[in-house]
Structure 1
Amino acid sequence: MGEDQARLIDSLLAAVRAAPTDTTLRTHLAQLLVAQGRNEEAISHIAVVLQQEPGSESARALMVQAMGAPVAPAPEFDWQRAERELDLPVPTEFAEGAPAHEVARSTVRLADVGGMEQVKQRLEAAFLGPMRNPELRRMYGKSLRGGLLLYGPPGCGKTFLAKAVAGELGAGFLTVSLADVLDMWIGRSERNLREVFQLARRSAPCVLFLDEIDALGRKRTQLANSGMRNTVNQLLSEMDGADAENEGVFVLAATNHPWDVDPALRRPGRLDRTALVLPPDLPARVAIVRYHLRDRPIAGIDVTGIARRTEGYSGADLAHLCETAAERALLDSVRSGQPRMIDMPDLEAALRQVRPSLRPWFDTARNVALYANEGGQYDELVAYMKKHRLL
């Protein structure tokens, strides 16, 4: 720490002693202390600020930072707002900092995914087994054409599984959603989609992950906009058209609403295989709770006991459960002025507050499973719902 910074902090300490109710001065002092790694000193000053101003968002954020929790990144520039203020469209290529597609490398492996053995077996049969045994693949005529559709209720790990497949293959990982493709200019959405597939082909072996495929590849009979129908047509062409050369490109897609995906996308050569990703089982819930508590100060937590009491919770629900428990401990630390560990009473209180969020999805799925299960494509879902008395 430089001498100037040290003198400034000493001056602010003296000023705070002279004016102990000046929250602005005390907050500034706490910011400097956090920047210098003197978090315990900073926490004591922030606690005083929050006692006087309990609703101060800046003080709460500073307390989270001082206690070592991650701070949300600053929001990106709002180009839509700029367009409205200028009353002019800003083309994507002229928007400084516009997001570009990047092929990443996944470090996740299937071993990192707790439970979900049936899904892992389906992924092994569809992609991983044939890739690891090229001679046997050729002997049995196993094709790597087509893709796999991961479907199921929201927040249950479909994206995490896609990253695990990329990690197992040692392949690049490129994720795409409707927001990455859709453009207001005629023909631009199709061009964007074509460029995504071209990037995946150049980066082969590559897992191309189409997130929320029900939005990107929605049933054309449900689309009133001709531009969106053209985008679906382009997607069909890129996946299995005459000019599509997708050797080394492994297409995975995810959706919460498979019944809204255009049937043409589920024909052979496209998303012709499916895997149902259900709410996490007990081993998966144990792994998820441990994951979300791993970097937090905890004491006396019965993770298995918590997991047993959260059947039917999604992975996102469990993350929210841990966040709620951490927030309770944080606010208690603020009130007392002394940081403390997250303990079982915090998790117990969070369990009373956070309830499973998947019932509406299963209510919708029930009608589809009962009345639109053409060809038995939702038999696995029907079996799960019967077992858990959701039908």
Structure 2
Amino acid sequence: MPDHSPLIQSLRTAVAGAPDDVPLRLHLAELLIAGGHLDEAVAEAAVALQHAPGDAQARELMVRAMGAPPQAPQPPAESQGPPTGFNWKAAEDQVGDVVPPRFVETPPAPEAPQTADGSVDPGDASAWEVEAPDGVRLADVGGMQDVKDRLEAAFLAPLRNPELRKLYGKSLRGGLLLYGPPGCGKTFIARAVAGELGANFLSISINDVLDMWMGNSERNMHEVFETARRQAPCVLFLDELDALGAKRSRTAHSGMRNTVNQLLTELDGIDAGANEGVFVLAATNVPWDVDNALRRPGRLDRTILVLPPDAPAREAILRYHLKDRPVANIDLRKLAKATDGLSGADLAHLCEAAAERALLDSARTGTVRMIGMQDLTAAAASVPPSSDPWFASARNVAMFANEGGMYDDLVTYLKKKRKL
């Protein structure tokens, strides 16, 4: 066996301990190529491709290992001959169907129609990206059983039972507002609802609607709904509703007031049954800043509070963010218990911080090691819950602005957590 650096030898030991860890094996292949051990790098890249046939990095490493020129000192500039370059054609012939062509010729996209002011016409079908059902279901949302039960009772059950819906005169339309602290998965839940309904998914934020030209914002809002109607059944997800539908009494700019008015009109449907098959979901961190008219019956009249993940959800989120990293002896249940109050975004940051801690330690000692429980617990101690400021504001709303019991779920949670 050729001589290897201590880092390569340590990495080989780590790969032997975790043979299914594709990123770790690809890192070993990178070091082998850098050290000139091309045959060994080919072997490692081949094993990686067996585990992950579509991995672009593994394919790129395979090409480099099979065709990279040997490392040699460069002659002085004046003595260099004409550049030979890398023979991509020969390399592609060698790897056959393992590696696709490096470049694919595609015809130029047709130029989008423009309006008189030079902006792209939002009526063009390519202006709004509608996603086909991708198989994400509520079962893919870890934990959060209370939210799932509320979604089933308030939204999904009537839509799943067309005969009962017809019997009781229930229209095939709906409006639901998800609210809660940031980073708790409101957007992912909206995608899961689309998956449950087998519907297309169209996500819209303030940047997609707002325009500097007079009247364009209202037209954009209309075209968004028209696109959803053409693609029905479709879940139309309005992200950051507090920006799209801010209280008109607090809006000094007449353009924004007109945009909110247009949103109200579209939610009602211009013609009877115009929104049949369009399911409107909205999300906001600050529902108290949303115009009250949007909460009127027949519009976004159902509300669900999405809180920081419970213990089963935290365990599922941690497992997801650690599954592609080199870990050893991780007690997910114990870790989930120690991270009560952290949002999904906090948990992702925790895993990133733990990986960074192990990486720096490996770089400092020259020996690659796994991410251990000590890295994760140390990271958990250094990551404060990002939802605390939100609950500080929500507490005042729950105490002094809970007209009609709008925030009863929030009051119940705050009392349970002894924050009220």
TM-score class, shorter-chain normalisation, is 0.7 to 0.9
| Paired residue type of 1:344 | M
Work out whether residues 276 and 380 of structure 1, in 8 Å CA contact, stay in contact via their aligned partners in 2: yes
Residue matched to 1:25: none
Q: Offset of 1:243 from its aligned partner? A: 3.3
- 2:278 counterpart (249, 255, 266): 249
C-alpha change, 1:36 and 1:145, in structure 2 (3 Å) is closer
Q: Offset of 1:114 from its aligned partner? A: 1.3
Work out whether residues 44 and 338 of structure 1, in 8 Å CA contact, stay in contact via their aligned partners in 2: no
Residue matched to 1:302: 331
Give the whole-Å Cα distance in 1 for the aligned partners of 2:307 and 2:35.
45
Give the whole-Å Cα distance in 2 for the aligned partners of 1:262 and 1:389.
30
Q: What is the TM-score of this pair, normalised by structure 1?
A: 0.76
Residues 1:102 and 2:129 are matched in the alignment: yes
The alignment's C-alpha RMSD in Å is 2.5
Equivalent position SS for 2:326: coil
Give the whole-Å Cα distance in 1 for the aligned partners of 2:192 and 2:254.
36
- 1:339 counterpart (340, 359, 368): 368
| Paired residue type of 2:366 | G
Residues 1:39 and 2:30 are matched in the alignment: yes
Equivalent position SS for 2:120: helix
Residue matched to 2:385: 356
Q: Offset of 1:228 from its aligned partner? A: 0.4
Q: How does 1:80-99 map to 2 (within 5 A)?
A: 91-93=118-120
Residues 1:321 and 2:350 are matched in the alignment: yes
C-alpha change, 1:334 and 1:101, in structure 2 (3 Å) is farther
Residue matched to 2:419: 390
Q: Offset of 1:338 from its aligned partner? A: 3.6
Q: How does 1:134-149 map to 2 (within 5 A)?
A: 134-149=162-177
Q: What is the TM-score of this pair, normalised by structure 2?
A: 0.71
Q: Offset of 1:136 from its aligned partner? A: 1.2
Q: Offset of 1:131 from its aligned partner? A: 1.9
Give the whole-Å Cα distance in 2 for the aligned partners of 1:36 and 1:279.
35
| Paired residue type of 1:358 | S
Q: Offset of 1:44 from its aligned partner? A: 7.9
Work out whether residues 309 and 344 of structure 2, in 8 Å CA contact, stay in contact via their aligned partners in 1: yes
Give the whole-Å Cα distance in 2 for the aligned partners of 1:199 and 1:174.
9
Q: Offset of 1:39 from its aligned partner? A: 1.7
Give the whole-Å Cα distance in 2 for the aligned partners of 1:38 and 1:290.
26
Residue matched to 1:150: 178
Residue matched to 2:250: 222
Q: Offset of 1:355 from its aligned partner? A: 1.3
Structure 2 unmatched runs, 5+ = 1-24, 37-55, 59-116
Q: How does 1:229-240 map to 2 (within 5 A)?
A: 229-240=257-268
Deviations 1:259-298 (A, max 9, x none): 0000000111110101110111111111111111111111
Deviations 1:180-205 (A, max 9, x none): 11111111111111111111111100
Residue matched to 2:105: none
| Paired residue type of 1:280 | P
| Paired residue type of 1:294 | K
Residue matched to 1:59: none
Q: Offset of 1:36 from its aligned partner? A: 11
| Paired residue type of 2:246 | R
Give the whole-Å Cα distance in 2 for the aligned partners of 1:155 and 1:219.
24
Work out whether residues 44 and 337 of structure 1, in 8 Å CA contact, stay in contact via their aligned partners in 2: no
Q: Offset of 1:130 from its aligned partner? A: 1.6
Residue matched to 1:269: 298
Equivalent position SS for 1:209: strand
Aligned length: 314
Residue matched to 2:227: 199
Work out whether residues 180 and 305 of structure 2, in 8 Å CA contact, stay in contact via their aligned partners in 1: yes
C-alpha change, 1:173 and 1:43, in structure 2 (3 Å) is farther
